[in-house]
A and B are shown apart, each in its own frame.
Chain A
Amino acid sequence: MSDSPIKMRVRETVILRVVGKALVPFILLFALYVQFHGDYGPGGGFQAGVIFAAGLILYALIFGLDSLREAIPQVVVEIGIALGTLLYGGVGVVSMIMGGEFLHYGVLDHHNPVHGQHLGILLVELGVGITVAFVMVAIFYAFAGRSRQ
């Protein structure tokens, strides 16, 4: 039993296609909720990134790898994984420029260090989320792209 029975049968099943199509937007939306609600409840950039990638991978499993590659090309994925880490490090560098230590978010807002912390955490978590989501997709592409036809 290779991977082909899974992929073939999945693509032929009408129910799975319909339910999957309905579910994917909600999974992506839930990922955004987890991303931006991480300050108040469980979750954060890492979990959000993984959930976002799970939604995209579900899409690829149902509609085929090529459909996802069309929506998110390899180049975008490779830029994305670097962009998130760059955003994280960038916040650290900016906080150094503004007179604090590396990743000391308090200095990002001159009037209220707590607001600076809010801003710093928001941006840093966003960086983590972007990197994790694209990393998961990149690893999935790397594995699934080599599958036997």
Chain B
Amino acid sequence: MGEHALGSLVEMTLFVLMIALAVYIARLRSLFAAAMLFGIFSLLSAGMLTLMDAVDVAFTEAAVGAGISTVLILGALGLTTSEEAPPRKHGWTALLVVSATGLMLIYGTLDLPVYGDPNAPIHQHVAPHYLKDSVDEIGIPNVVTSVLASYRGYDTFGETTVILTAAVGAILLLGPRTGRTRKEDDDGEGSQ
């Protein structure tokens, strides 16, 4: 029980830090600072996922969120300015839409099973089979790898294709053969 209480305390601290960070990032005008803080945000969510025993996902979040995407955002900042333009007016409509969507999402979570509930539908479908039989059928200890690469190999193939498509898109839009030279980028390519 003591360990559980400590776990909840760490979880709550991480949650509070993430919310505080999100609010702070939303109020920041410096995009450079925001990019850096997003990295810290990803690191905090990686910690959160580790507490949920989802180490594979936490690993990915730390590597992609805190590592690669920070570099890519910095690269994108290099093409524009690193200061956000001051807003022209207060977007009350936007606030209304966002609040309404948020309330609907919270209403939607009321139907979800309690966090960690072993009787939740997600734990009743194929998960018991994977956990019980994957060592005999696949023969490797990491069930996550068994599910990703073998049981759900078709989905992972699709995901790999999505990543391939992302690179093809980036190469076609921004790559060396887009026909525009570096000098031309300086005018008219900014965010405003």
Contact = CB atoms under 8 A, between A and B. Distances in A.
Residue in B67, B68, B76, B83 with the greatest tally of chain A CB atoms within 10 Å: B68
A25 interface: no
Contacts of A118: 138-140
Contact of A40 (B74, B140, B164, B175): B140
Nearest to A102: B154
A115 B148 CA distance: 17
B150 A117 contact: yes
Contacts of B171: 78, 138, 142
B182 A117 contact: no
Contacts of B71: 54, 57, 61, 140
Contacts, number: 170
A84 B157 CA distance: 10
Residue in A127, A148, A149 with the greatest tally of chain B CB atoms within 10 Å: A148
Contacts of B166: 135, 139
B117 interface: no
Contacts of A42: 55-56, 58-59, 142, 144
Contacts of A143: 72, 75-76, 78-79, 170, 174
B163 A89 contact: no
A121 B149 contact: yes
Interface residues of B, number: 54
Q: Chain B at the A interface: mostly helix, strand, loop or mixed?
A: helix
State which size class the interface on A falls in. 35 or more
A146 B185 contact: yes
Interface string A121-148: 1001101100110111011111111111
Given A34-B59, A44-B145, A128-B160, 6 more contacts: A40-B140, A42-B142, A74-B175, A114-B139, A118-B138, A145-B175
Interface of B: 32, 55-56, 58-60, 63-64, 67-68, 71-72, 74-79, 81-83, 136-142, 144-146, 148-150, 153-154, 156-157, 160-161, 163-164, 166-168, 170-171, 173-176, 182, 185-186
30 contacts: A2-B77, A3-B78, A39-B140, A39-B145, A40-B142, A41-B142, A42-B56, A43-B56, A47-B59, A50-B67, A50-B68, A54-B63, A61-B71, A74-B176, A81-B164, A81-B168, A85-B164, A88-B157, A103-B150, A117-B139, A118-B138, A120-B149, A120-B150, A124-B153, A125-B145, A131-B164, A135-B166, A141-B176, A142-B170, A146-B174
